[in-house]
Structure formats: C-alpha cells, structure tokens
Structure 1
Amino acid sequence: MTNDTWSIAKNLFKTVTRKKTFDDEVPKKSQLKRTLNLIDLTALGVGSTLGCGVYALAGTVAKSIAGPAVVLSFALAAIASTFSGVCYAEFTCRLPKAGSAYVYSYVAIGELIAFIIGWNLLLKNIIGTSAVAKTMSNYLDSLLGDPQKKYMKKYFTIHMDYMNEYPDVTSFLFILFITLFVAWGVRKSCNLNNLFTALSMLTICTVIVSGFYFVNLSNWFIPKNEIPAGVDGGKGGFFPFGWTGIVAGAARCFYGFISFDSIVSAGEETKNPEKTMPLAIVLTFSFITFAYFGLASVLTLMWPYYDQDPSAPLLVIYDRLGTPVLKYLVTGGVMFALFTTLIGRLFPIPRILYAMSSDGLLFDFLAKINKKTKTPFIATIVCGVTVGLLSIVFDLEQLIDMASIGTLQSYMTICVCVLILRYTDANNLCSRDVTVDSDGKYNFSTWLNLLNAKTPNVDTQYISRVLILVFSVSANLFCTSVAHWKYFQGALQYALSIVICISVVSLLLTMLMLTRLPQTIENLPFKVPLVPFVPCVSIVLNLYLMVELSFRTWLRFSVCQVIGLLVYAFYGIRHSLEGIKQQAKRDEENRNEPIL
C-alpha cells in the first residue's frame, strides 16, 4: 500500500468515526416542546406494544413456530429485551435527546455506525408501523366478513412472490388518519394515546379473565396422533417444534418488545427526562410482560395451537366458541389498542429523522419544526405516506421479520456503547477518540490490571476496546455456529463444535478481563447493574435471535443496508454538521499558525 493510499484510508477512517460532541456547542433552547410526563411516556411505551404484538403475533408464533411453548418464547424475548432495556435506560440519563439509539451511538462509536443505527431504526419503525396497520385491517376485514379481501383478490390480485395477495387500502387509510394526529401536536396525540392505552389494558384484562372460563388444559399437551392429517403440528405436546421452535419464536416475539424505543425517542419533549425516562421503561416492561404472558397462555389453552388464526386469532376463537358478545367487545378493544400502537410506533420515526437531518446526515428539510404544532410536521407526513405504501403491498409476516432484525441490531449496538463508555478515560470523555496516546507497550500486568488502577486511563481504555471487539467477534462466531450446528453432519459438525468451544472460552475470558478493568465514575440517576455481565449477555442474546431469522429476512435487510450506505456516501458524509464543525476548527487553527 502506497503512502498516498494509506493517507486516504486513514483520513476516511477518521471521517466515518468522528463523534458527535455537545461541549462546544452554544446552549440553546430545544425547538421541541417539553410536555410529556411519566404517565404519558409509560402510556406511549405500553400503547406502542399492546397491539400487533398481543393480538396477532401470539397466534402467528403459536400456530407454526412454537406451539403452546409460545409462552416460553415470549419469556425469552422478555429477558433479552430487559437486558437491552436497562442499557437504554442508562443512555437516557446520559443524553436525553431526540433520536434514540442513533444519538447514543453517534457519541460513543462514530458517525458511520450512528448513521447505520439511525437508518435501521427508521426501517424498523416504518416496517413495524406498517405491520400494525396490517393487523388493524385484518381484524376489521375479518369482523365485517372479509369484504376488502374478496373484492381486492377478485379485481386487483398481486401475482408476485413475497408480497401481499392484494393491495391493502384500508391499512393505508388508517395510517394517514394517525399521521395527522401525530403531526397535529405532541400533547394532543398523547392525550388520545393515553385514552386508547387505558382501553387496551381493559381489553387485555377482559381477555385473560374470560379466557380462564374456556381453558382446556389438554390443549397444551395434544399428542401427535390427535393432530388432523395434513396439518403441520410438529411432534405435538407442549414443545411440538422443540427448542428450535422456542428460539425462532422468541426472535419473532422480540418484535413485541420494542416499546422503550418510542420512549427514548422523546427525550427532548419530556419533563425531567433523566429520571422520568428510566422509570417509564421499567413500568412499561412490567405491564407488557404481564400482558404477553397472560394472553399467550389463555390463547393456547382456549384453542389448539395448530388451529390458531394468524391474522385475527382472538376474533376467530371467540366466534368458534359461540360467544358473540365477547367477540365484538374484544374486537372493539383490539381496534382501540391497535390505534394506540399505531401512534406509539409512528411517533419516534419523525423524531429520528429530525435528529439525523439536524446533524446533516439526511436532507435538511426533514429537520424543520412547524411553528404552530411544535412538531417535525414535514418529516411526519413523509413517514406516514412511506409507511402507508409499505402496508399496501407487503404481508404481515414479512413486515414482522424485517422489524425484528432491525430492532435486534440496534439494541446490540446500544449494549456495545454502554461498555465503551463505562471504560472510557474521563480525561477523554468529551472526544472519546478511538486513538489513544500511549507507548503501545502492554504486558501481562497491564492487560489484567494487576496494578489495580482505580480509574480508566489511556491504557485501560485501549485494552477495554480491544476486549469489546474480541467479545463481539466471538459472540458472532458462537451464535452463528450454534444456530447452524444441527444442519451439518460428520466433520463439519465436529468443526462447528470446536468453534463453539473456542468461542465460549473466548467469551468468558474477555468478560473476566473486562471485570478487572476500572470503570468511569459518573453520577447518573440510573446505571446498568453488573457491568460487564448485563451488556455482554444482551449482546449474545440479540445476536442469537438475529441469526435465527430466515435467510430471506437477512437478504432484504442487506439490501436496505446498501441503500442506506449509498445515501450516506453521496449525501451524509459531505453534509455532516460535525464534519463541517471540525473542518471550520482546522481552518481556524491553520489561520492562527505563525508564518515562518
């Protein structure tokens, strides 16, 4: 490699790893209005989840992925989400800004990774909102006797693989209606969200209580010989699809635990965000875990798992049980719940667009705040139209898978960010530069901190980042090998077993070495407990759930990543506000240099 090529590569690396700084900015009042309190944030988090996750996801996963063990899939997804949630909670104390994980990764890791995270958050929320709109449309259409489905399939059938059978116009209209509410103003949309969330919780309690009246315990232990011919019911029993089905179901169920992303995206619109947001995350997890576990239990106890309806399971079950009153009561509650989920899922999208556009990484017109509504009005309308178009052509299952992989990827990155910041030298806390000034001589005592350094320095910071990188690579190898081990035989399976053993040793060793390193002492309202254990376990869980998703999901995800990288390469990298600030600083330094 020539010197010129090396110089270009070095400058490019510095460009894509430049970090967002706040210390040198002139303090100014946020353009967004702070109106949200603890109740608003908790309702936003709960409401953004208790819709598609409860009323469609449970039936889909139970029918063909996990069977009655869907309750364990939800439990595994809840554990993985909890680990990620506490990492999110710490970051809300550090940076109560609009933009969620995008801002956090911009400060901790660098611009390119931040853009990718922000791009994935946009995709995840856009796709997730489309999935909720599809669920609403399916429920309403099923309630009315499928008039849209019959008409559209007759005259406007879509003959394309991996797309919906027909254009779902109803879901598009639902999204436009909610988009206008979100664009109208934060206070107005949150008041509507609070009302719908209360109705949603009431509906769930009704389902759980009424469900116990129709419970048949034998539905959890249906033998294989009682499964109708031609039905894919697995091996029967409580674990008809085995451990693989539980994990694959958890990867799908994880989609239902993305509510705290809506909470943290409202950092600049929250009163006392450093204390309010972590508490809202805890309360949200408590509510939704109870709701998921309870509803998944009664759903599979009321009716055989293999006969669940994936689009509108509750409506179909109550219809088959001959309880029309409960059918219409629950369906009405479902519609209210899905409305509030639409609000919760759509709410963070324009805030992320606003944050990225304010930093110059996306088009600046998306960062404009309407003077009357105090919201990113243009960004909200653009998001609504985009979400609506996706809901017209894609089916529910594809949308859920795409939303899940984007969520898992962003959560994993947040956990890495927590580790990086916990071991950062306090003297370099503002710049957080990857390059450290050191003599580069690291011996055994330095790596294991045998000198018992109490606070991070440039040496321990460098070592921590090497260990975090090694842990991430080892976790990737471990999860990929475990997920694909069962598909190979003979020598290949033996080779994967060796890789698994080596990666486990590497994971444990690097985590042990991280525990020896000193952590930054900071006075935060909330901090992740048991660092590095909690972030490290979360990284492994998120990666494992990601590799359990289908190849087609990864392929679509990869295409979306390429599109995002092209946007950054041709627009974001040249219009970056941080880059402009750094260039202005260098120009000022050059002007002040004495002329020899």
Structure 2
Amino acid sequence: MSSLLRKMLRTRRVDEQFLRHSEWARRLGIPLMVALAGIKSISMMLFIILPFSLTQVAGPSTVLALIFAFLIIFFTSAHLSELSCTMPNNCVQYHFAYAVIGELPAFVIAWISLVDYVAQAGLFCKAWADHFNLLFRGLPAKSLTFDVFSEDSSILSPQVDLLTVLSAVITLCLLLCSLRVVGTICVSLLAVTLLIAASCTMVAFFHSDPENWIKAEFFHYGFRGVLYSICGLCACYTGIESTSCLLEETKNPRKRISGVLSFLVLVLTTIFFVLSITFSLSTNVTALSEGIMIPEVFSVINIPAAKYMLSVCSVCALSGGVLASFLPATRVIAALCHDRLIPYARDTSTKSPYFAVLLCTVLVALCSMIQKTMLLNFVIFMAPVKIVITILLVYIQHYYPEQIGIPEETSSYKSIGKKRTRVHIDDGVSIDDSVSLVPQRIRRSEDDESEVSHSTFDTTAFLYMKATKMETERLQRRLEKEDIENENEECQPVLAKSVSQYHSMDQNQKKSSAKSKQKHAHNCVAEQCGADNDDDYNSQEVHLFANEEPELPFFSTFNSSAPRPPSPDVSFTNYYRSLRLLFLFCFFTSAFSTFLRNFGMPTTTCWLLSAGFLVIILIFTVNINRLQTNDYLYKKESKVTLFPTASLFSLFLLLLSFFGSIPTRTLAHLAVVFVTGVISYFLYGYRHSKHRRTACLVIENRYSDTADDDQYCPIIGLDTSSSSND
C-alpha cells in the first residue's frame, strides 16, 4: 500500500530547463493580456452573473456582496502573483502541485480546472445564443432550436440551440490562428463593450431611484443570499485567474504579472460596483421575472433604444468572452497531454495545440445539451474551490523546508544568463549556443527515458579547457561560412581570432540554413535561445555557470530502496505542524458555516456557540502566525503581503460563503467530478505518465556513520524512487 501511495505521489523534477525554458511563442503583451482578462470578466459579470444575482440570489444586497468578493480577490491576486513568479509556466497550479505534492493531487487539480473551464465556455456559448436571439427578436431560434430531451430531465436541456454549437465552431476557426490575432479581436470587442455599456449605464443612472431599494428590501434573500452572491461575484473575476494558464505565452511574466493583476482587480471592481448600483437602483429587481436578461431591464423602464444598444453590446462582449474562455481550457489539455496523463497528440507540446483546441470544441459543443442553470451553479461554486486551491499552494510554498521555483535574482546574476554557455555531456563534450551552426546530437526517441548518461570528467579545468577549444573551432567555422555567404567571392584564408573577439559579432545577422531547419525555438524567462532539441524530455542540456564548480571531497553510495534522508538543516517538523493547524482551521471554519446555515437562529445558545467557534478559529490563526516560514531560505520575486493573516482571512470568507450557501445538488456534482478525475487517472495517467520512469543524479548531504558529528558526506547515486516497477 505504501508503494502504491508513493507512486501516486511521485513528483516531477524541477530543474533549470523546466523553470526557464518554454516551447510556446511569447506573443502576449500587457494590452492583449488585459483585453483577454477584461472581456471575459466583464461579459461574465454584466450579462450572466449580475441579472442572476439581482433577481434570484441577493437582490440589492449584491452591492454588499461585491465588497467582500473584492477583498477575497484582492488578496487572492497576490497569491496568484507569487505562484506565477515562482514557477512561470502555463497552468501554474497544476505544475506547482506536481512538483511539490505529487502526481495524483496535481492531476485532480488540473481535472477540476479543465471541467470548470469547459463549463464556463459552454455557459458563454449559451448566453451568446440567448442574447443573439434577443437582438434579432427570436428569429434564429425558430429555425435552429430543436426538441431533443424530455422536459422532466434535471440535467439535460429539453431544447438544443444550434447557435451554441455554431459559436463553438467559429471560435475553433479563430483559435487556429495566432494568439495575437485572438488578442487583437478581444481588444476591439472590449473597446466596443466599454463604450456602449458606459452610455447605457448613464441612461440607467438618470432613472435611478433609492425607493427601489426600499421596495425590494435590501436583504430580501437573507444572509444565505449574500453568501451565495459572494461566490457568484468571485466567478466574475475568472478572467484574472485565467491569466495563470498563459504565463509561457506572456512577455516577461515575472516582471509584469504582479502589476497587471492588481490593476485588473481594481479596475474591474470599480466597473462592477458602478454596474451593480446603477441597475439595482433603476428598478425593483425583486419584481423582475427569473431568467431576465440585462437588456430587457430597459423594457421595464420603457427605454427601447437603450435595450437595442445593450443587446448589441451583449453580443460583442459575449463573443469576446467565448474566445477568451477557450484559451485556458486548451492550455490545461495541452499540459496534461504533454505529461501523458490523458491520451495525447504530438502537436500539443508545440506553440499550436491543435489537438487541444479540437478536443475543447467537442466538449463545449456537448455542453449545449446541459441545462444553463446547472452550468451556472457549477461555475459559481467552482470559483471559490479554485481560489482555495491557489491559497493552499502558496501556504505550502511558505512553509515547505526547501526552495521551490525561481528566487528573486540580483542584478549581478541577471547578466550571467546572457553570457552563459550550454554544455552537452553525452559520452563526450560538445559546446553550442543560440547561434550555433553545428548540428547537435539528439537522443533518439526510441531510447529509454530512464537512461542516464554516465559521462565523467576528471577536473573542472579539463571541462573548461575542452569547452574553450571547441568554442574557438566553432566560431572559426562560422566566420568562414559568413564570409562566403556575404561577400560572394572566392574564399580567402581567415586568421584565427580569440574567443572574446567572436563574441563581439552582431547577433542579429542572418541565420544560416541549418538554423532555419529548427522545429521550434525555446523561449526562456530570462532570454530567448535556440536549440535543436526534439522535445524537452529528450534534452541533455546543462547550464554551466562560472560560480558552480563541483566539489566532491568524499561520497557514499545512495541506496534507492531506502528513503532519501533530508539534509541536516532541513526539518519537516514545522512544515507538518503548519499543515495540521491549517487543516484544523479549515475544518472548524467549515463547521461554523454549516452550523449557521442549518441552526442559525437569534437565540442565546446560537450566539454562544458561534462565539465559541470564532474563539477556536482565532486560536488557530494565532498559532499559525507564530510558525517560522521559509522566507529566510531565499527571497521571492513577489510575496503576499501580511502572510499568513491575509491568506487565513481569505480562506475564512471563502469557506464561510461556500459551505453556507452551496446547494446539496451542486455539492454532489463536485463530488462526481472529483471521483471521475481519480478514475480517469488510474485508467490512463497512472500507467502512461511521462514521469513514471524518471532517473536523475542525486547529490545531497547526510550524516556519516564513521565521520565526526559535525561532518557530512554527500550521497551520489541514481534516484529511481519515483519510477514504478512493472
């Protein structure tokens, strides 16, 4: 049983190549990133969540719920920024969990995110079809809507609108283009949406009347309605959370992501606050019919021109929302396919995930058969679940006793990346850099992935001497070839120059034909480099730094059957204690929320029990704040302010809202998604995982049985602890 658990919790190796290299083309700048996140969040808020919250959930108290949702998202964006700067990869929650917790938890996180993103895309397509029919007065629905299922079904929709499938197909065609094209379309749609929405909001503002709040009763749906609305409004910020799935396609993500997320939270909250106040004051929202759309509010206040304009705005906004909602789902599919946890196609590891886009389109088209209300409830209650996952991962990062990801780099070390040389060690030594013309030896795909090169070298001096010699020969051949191509005359003997002189050559010169034959280029976080690697798991790259000379004074053999002992200065005691305290904090918070939901009454007993729960939660909060974090190990590029108080405060609000308002039916749907993910993992991912057979050279310290107490011996051996035995 322990062996099976160890295999399910196998982790991926986080090395320099995984953290800094990427096969994705970095096309997203700040404007495109803001457009993708903004159009998705605004369309979700204005045309999906806001009418649902005003008419069925919270009424005018939606404004109060928005304040609590803003506090949650504001602190959560800081957590997401820290994770993104630590591990700037697409689907950062999945990769971080894979590297720290294990394969099965990472797969479950990715599976939950994938189902949520597909449900969001299906919800956007259904909303787009509804507003498109509203714009053309129901004419398309007469010819494109068919009765398929029974009206008594609680899951399947009685009618299937082909407009939903049509929107998914159009999105498929657009996503096959460049990501920059998709971003440019979203920029245009966002500009149109903001202009029309601003004009219609001004019209509604001049028809606002505070008497409408009095008639509707501010807390018409009670305390539970406010909690429900908090979960729904957290889902409105889904565009911000989706940016974590596009980090490898963003330019300079570690420098920009923190400021962009904070800016988006403040701007979107301002827009949401104005919209919620204006439309809740313009009419008695509790008297409106269920399922009403925001443009139809102007029919109630008798302004048909504003209704038509806002209908046009809704079609534009939801079109951009459909486009933006497909992107994170395709990136999650590509990440799972790349790690071979689901059946994959070869092109998913490149910059154009055609297989992922096609699969996502099929899944979204199938969502057209599910009721819109079911999709909406699922998306609303998946939002706090994903936020809780993000906060928990950051919590683990702060108490894990070893360094995780990329630390903040000082200015002296940032320049090393521009001058470093990549050394390939594979039964010999060969040197190459980003402008090399010499073909590299690439391991054949049929080679066993668990095979490790056993090349050795006597001293560091020999390695540098060999590297310098081959670098000189390579640059000499390059100079001769460039003279032949540029001058188009008879080749003249070229005098050899020093290596330093070659480095002064223009890096922007025309690349040779051998360079143009590369399949794809790397996109590093620090700098761009070109490599002829067929795939990242076949690479034998080693980044050599001048200050990283290996020193192995003595060693002992590592036994793969025994557990790896931690270094003497690394203790997991504090880490495990932090996990226990966090579990108790979440348990009592959930119990407190459930108690208020089922037994909350204005009685003395209820007040005393509530006070007891709050005191217990406060005690755990104080104990967690007294724990020592691992911030002394390394300095993070982005750090959560007021950690862990801000994290615990966000967790308290999220768990209180989730367990205080979630319907039992939706909770059952979440359980089904979880169980389905676990079954899918064991059916395919467990046996076909890319990291099922991994081997690496382990060098670490442990106490020596024969040496003094203050002397440590490095352990050198082949770590195959994560590999499975057939």
TM-score, length-normalised on structure 2?
0.69
Name 2:532's counterpart in structure 1: none
Query: 1:565 aligned to 2:557?
Result: no
Q: Corresponding residue for 2:327?
A: 347
Counterpart among 415, 425, 447 of residue 401 in structure 2: 425
Alignment of 1:31-430 (within 5 A): 31-147=23-139, 155-156=147-148, 158-159=150-151, 160-222=153-215, 236-365=216-345, 368-369=348-349, 374-390=351-367, 392-426=368-402
Q: Is the 8 A contact 1:98 1:266 kept in 2?
A: yes
The answer to whether the 8 A contact 2:86-2:637 is kept is: no
How has the CA–CA distance of structure 1 residues 310 and 338 changed in structure 2, closer, same or farther, with 3 Å as cutoff? farther
| Whole-angstrom distance in 2 between the partners of 1:428 and 1:288 | 32
Aligned partner of 2:616 among 490, 505, 511 = 505
For structure 2, which runs of at least 5 residues remain unmatched after alignment?
407-562, 699-715, 721-726
How many Å apart are 1:150 and its aligned residue?
A: 5.9
Instruction: Indicate the larger mover: 44-53 or 104-113.
Output: 104-113
Q: Gaps (5+ residues) in structure 1?
A: 1-8, 223-235, 440-455, 591-596
State the Cα distance separating 1:278 from its structure 2 match. 1.8
**Correspondence for 1:446:** none
- Provide the identity percentage: 19
Structure 1 residue 253 displacement after superposition:
2.2
**Residues 62 and 416 (structure 1), Cα distance of their counterparts in 2 relative to 1, 3 Å cut:** same
The residue type equivalent to 1:406 in the other structure is M
Report what 1:524 is aligned to.
636
SS class of match (1:42): helix
Equivalent residue letter for 2:373: E
| 1:351 positional shift | 0.8
Q: Is the Cα contact below 8 Å between 2:19 and 2:89 reproduced in 1?
A: no
Name the CA distance, whole Å, in 2 between partners of 1:436 and 1:550. Answer: 45
8 Å contact kept, 2:66–2:233: yes
> 2:26 is matched by which residue type in structure 1?
R
Conserved? CA contact 1:62–1:308, under 8 Å: no
Residue identity opposite 2:375 in structure 1: L
**Partner SS, residue 581 of structure 1:** coil
C-alpha distance in 2 between matches for 1:589 and 1:525: 30
Q: 2:50 corresponds to which letter in structure 1?
A: A
- After superposition, the C-alpha distances for 1:375-396 in whole angstroms (9 at most, x for unaligned) are 2111011101211210x22233
Q: By percentage of residues, which structure has more helix?
A: 1
Q: Which residue number corresponds to residue 447 of structure 1? A: none
| Inter-partner Cα distance in structure 1 for 2:380 and 2:160 | 23
Shift of 1:153: 7.5
> Is the Cα–Cα contact under 8 Å of residues 228 and 658 in structure 2 kept in the other structure?
no
CA contact (8 A) 1:77 1:257 kept: no
Separation in structure 1 between the aligned mates of residue 604 and residue 358 of structure 2, nearest angstrom? 51
Partner amino acid for 1:273?
P
Superposed displacement of residue 148, structure 1: 5.3
Say which SS state the counterpart of residue 205 (structure 2) adopts: helix
Which amino acid in 2 is paired with 1:538? S
Relative distance call for 1:570 and 1:306 in structure 2 (3 A) is same
Specify the code of the residue in structure 2 equivalent to 1:505: I
Structure 2: which amino acid aligns with 1:563?
A: T
Structure 1 pair 588–527 and aligned structure 2 pair: CA distance change class (3 A): closer
Report the RMSD for the aligned CA atoms in angstroms: 3.1
Separation of aligned partners in 2, 1:53 and 1:333: 13
- The residue matched to 1:375 in structure 2 has which SS? coil
Distance in 2 between residues matched to 1:502 and 1:57, nearest whole Å: 32
Q: Is the 8 A contact 2:399 2:574 kept in 1?
A: no
User: CA–CA distance in 2 between the matches of 1:366 and 1:342?
Assistant: 26
Distance 1:540 1:77 in 2: 12
- Provide the residue aligned with 2:475 in structure 1: none
Change (3 A) 1:27 1:349: closer
How far is the alpha carbon of 1:427 from its aligned partner? 6.3
1:90-124, Cα deviation, whole Å (9 max, x unpaired): 11111111123212222232221111110011011
Aligned to 2:592: 481
Residue 89 of structure 1 deviates from its aligned partner by 0.8
For residues 672 and 696 of structure 2, the distance between their equivalents in structure 1, rounded to whole angstroms, comes to 32
Moved more, 392-401 or 185-194: 392-401
Tell me what 2:626 maps to: 515
SS of structure 2 residue aligned to 1:364 = coil
Cα distance change on mapping 1:64 and 1:263 into 2, 3 Å: same
Q: Which moved more, 1:272-281 or 1:512-521?
A: 512-521
Partner residue in 1 for 2:576: 465
Change (3 A) 1:152 1:584: farther
- Distance (Å, rounded) in 2 between the aligned partners of 1:109 and 1:537: 24
Secondary structure at the residue paired with 1:167?
strand
Counterpart code for 1:412: V
Deviations 1:277-325 (A, max 9, x none): 2222112212221121111111111121123355453211122333232
How far did residue 78 of structure 1 move?
A: 2.2
Distance 1:127-1:589 versus aligned 2 partners, 3 A rule: closer
Which residue identity is paired with 2:641?
Answer: P
SS of match in other structure, 2:58:
helix
Normalized per residue, which structure has more strand? Answer: 2
How far apart, CA to CA, are the structure 2 residues paired with 1:83 and 1:27? 25
Q: By how many angstroms is 1:505 displaced?
A: 1.7
Asked if 1 retains the 8 angstrom alpha-carbon contact of 2:145 and 2:162, the reply is no
* CA distance in 1 between partners of 2:60 and 2:50 (Å): 10
2:662 pairs, out of 549, 573, 584, with 549
Q: Which moved more, 1:73-82 or 1:187-196?
A: 73-82
Q: Secondary structure at the match of 2:616?
A: helix
Would the alpha carbon gap of residues 484 and 366 (structure 1) be closer, same or farther in structure 2, given more than 3 Å must change?
A: farther
Q: What amino acid does structure 1 have at the position aligned with 2:68?
A: L
Give the letter aligned to residue 378 of structure 2. Answer: M
Larger Rg: 2
